[in-house]
Structure formats: C-alpha cells, structure tokens
Amino acid sequence: MSSPDPSHYSYRHYADAGVAETFDALRFSGGVGELLLETQEAILVDALQPGPGRSIADIGTGTGRAALALARTGADVIGIDASAEMLAVAARRASEEQARGLHAAAGHLRFERGDAHALPLEDRSVDGAVCLRVLMHTPDWRCCLAELCRISRSRIVFDFPSATSAAAVQSGARRVAHATGVRTEPYRVMRASAVRAELARHGWRVRSEHRQFVLPIALHKAVGSPAFTRRLERALASVGLLRLFGSPVTVVAERFEPRSGAAR
C-alpha cells in the first residue's frame, strides 16, 4: 500500500507531548482502569506464555505498559510506535523501573520508532506480537493486521471496539464532531466476521475472543467501583448480553498450518 497520510489524526494526536504525558492517567486511572490493566495482562500472559527465551513485539506500544509487563517475565521485547513523544514516555518509565530494581530479572527491552503499516521486522522474526488500542485508529487496519501476521511465528493478540456494542454510538458521535472541527479522537468500530476473514486471508485463525464489557467503559469509570463493575457485568454476561454486545474484543489468533497431504 502507499504510505499513510501523515496528517491523519492518529499521527497528529499522539505526536502531542501533552497527550503522551497524560495518556496513562486518562486510560488507566482509578479502580476500573486498574481492572482493565489486570485483565489485559492476564490475557497476554495466557496467550503468549512470555518468559526467558521468548521474543515478543508490542506494536503501537504507546507508553510501553504492555511491553514493560511482558519484559518483567524475562521475555525479549521490542516496543514499536510511530510517535516519538509516546516512546519518550515509555523509555522514561522503563528507566524508572530499572532504577527501582524492578527489572533485575527482566528480559531485554528496547523501543523503536516505526509504523504499524510497515514494521521494521523480518518475516516470522518474533514468537508473538501484541497490538492493543491501535487498529481502531490506524488509517488501514487490514494492512496493520497483515503486518502482525507477517512478523509473528505463532501467536498475535489484538483488540478492537465491536460494531455491535455501545462503542458504535460513541464512534459515530466522535466522527461527526471531528468532521465539524471539534478536537476529539475519532475511531472505528469493527465486525468480528471481517476480522476473522482478514486473518484467514493470511493463514491465521482465531484461537479465542475475550469481550470485556457490555456497558460503556466511560460509564464504569464514572461510577468508579470495580466491585460494582464486576457484579453488573457478570449479571449481564449470565443472560448472554456479553457474547452479543461486549466490547472491546480482545482476539488471540494463531498461525494455521494445513496438514501435509490435505486436499487442495
């Protein structure tokens, strides 16, 4: 594909030093934010089995939260992002952790600037790849997903807001606001069927899906009670609403190698 338009909001928004400095507080503050992080890390550990001898790429690493968590297991991790401002925050956080001795047993961690549409990594050069809160913003999500499939030998983990969830309403509102000149961060919602089809095009298949919330994350953050969130979402899941309307959707995909001798 041709090079993405550098004026696209996803490049301009995250090239702001102020956005980079406040990113973690905006996304992961409070008890509900901590719940998001705990769930995210649990999925990554279960899917990728990180540890010594494992290599993992965190694409769209941002401030490096996932990369740091994976590196603490002893894995060899590279965090890649298009924003120098976000990478500066990530590098500082890594240095602060190292100064506190939290990386005494950690694997090798490095950050590199790069675009998710054309990753600076060789084919099948890492054991696994992670891409969180990225496909919803990129100019061409299919190209980025193809790159994840290309660089990973066995597993990829990525997420997206579901087109059948409350996120679809917010997405539409933000796109309208952005088009009229309001400073906001628009994003796309995606259908699971389209994601599965795109994975299949590259020889990959879905191993598992995790849908997190029925109700909007913003509502849970406004209430500010992880216990309330767990009880309410558990009740909604028990009647099948999470399976139908849950979002964001975190996908664990694996490379599919046809059996030798299989019918062509």
**What is the C-alpha separation between 93 and 83, in angstroms, rounded?**
16
Contact present, 46 and 85 (Cβ < 8 Å): no
Q: Are 152 and 124 in contact (CB under 8 A)?
A: yes
- Condensed to tens digits (0 to 9), the pLDDT of residues 152-189 reads 999 999 999 999 999 999 999 998 998 898 888 889 99
Phi, psi at residue 53, to the nearest 5°? 90, -5
Q: Which of 213, 161, 148 is nearest to 187 (CA)?
A: 161
Q: Which residues contact 257 (CB under 8 A, 6 or more apart)?
A: 203
Question: For the residues of 208-229, what is the DSSP string, one character each?
Answer: EEEEEESS-HHHHHHHT-HHHH
105 vs 16 pLDDT, higher one = 16
- Cα torsion at 123, 145, 208, 219 (round to 10°)? 140
**Contact present, 40 and 63 (Cβ < 8 Å):** no
Distance of alpha carbon 34 from alpha carbon 40, whole angstroms: 10
Whether the per-residue pLDDT at 2 is higher than 60: the answer is no
Q: Per-residue pLDDT tens for 25-54?
A: 888 888 888 888 899 999 999 999 999 999
Only one residue has tokens 């953050």, namely 221
- 213 contacts 132 by C-beta, under 8 angstroms: no
Q: Which residue has the higher pLDDT, 257 or 140?
A: 140
- pLDDT the model gives residue 33: 87
pLDDT, tens digit, for every residue of 204-218? 999 999 999 999 988
Higher pLDDT, 249 or 108: 249
Beta partners for residue 251, in sequence order = 158, 209
User: Looking at residue 185, what is its pLDDT?
Assistant: 82
Highest mean pLDDT among 2-6, 120-124, 219-223: 120-124
pLDDT in the model for residue 182? 85
Q: Which domains does the chain have, with CATH numbers?
A: 9-160+185-212+251-255 (3.40.50.150)
Q: Which residue has the tokens 């899917």?
A: 47
Is the pLDDT at 100 greater than 80? The verdict is no
* SS3 (DSSP) at 149: helix
Please report where in the chains the tokens 């999500």 appear, as a residue. Answer: 141
The number of helix segments (H) and strand segments (E) in the chain equals 11, 7
Question: For the chain, what percent of residues have pLDDT higher than 90?
Answer: 74
pLDDT digits (tens, 9 = 90+) for 202-253: 999 999 999 999 999 889 989 999 999 999 999 999 999 999 999 999 999 9
- The pLDDT value recorded for residue 7 is 84
Give the Cα separation of 94 and 87 in Å (integer): 10
Q: Per-residue pLDDT averaged across 88-116, rounded?
A: 83
Percent of the chain with pLDDT over 70: 94
| pLDDT at 104 > cutoff 60 | no
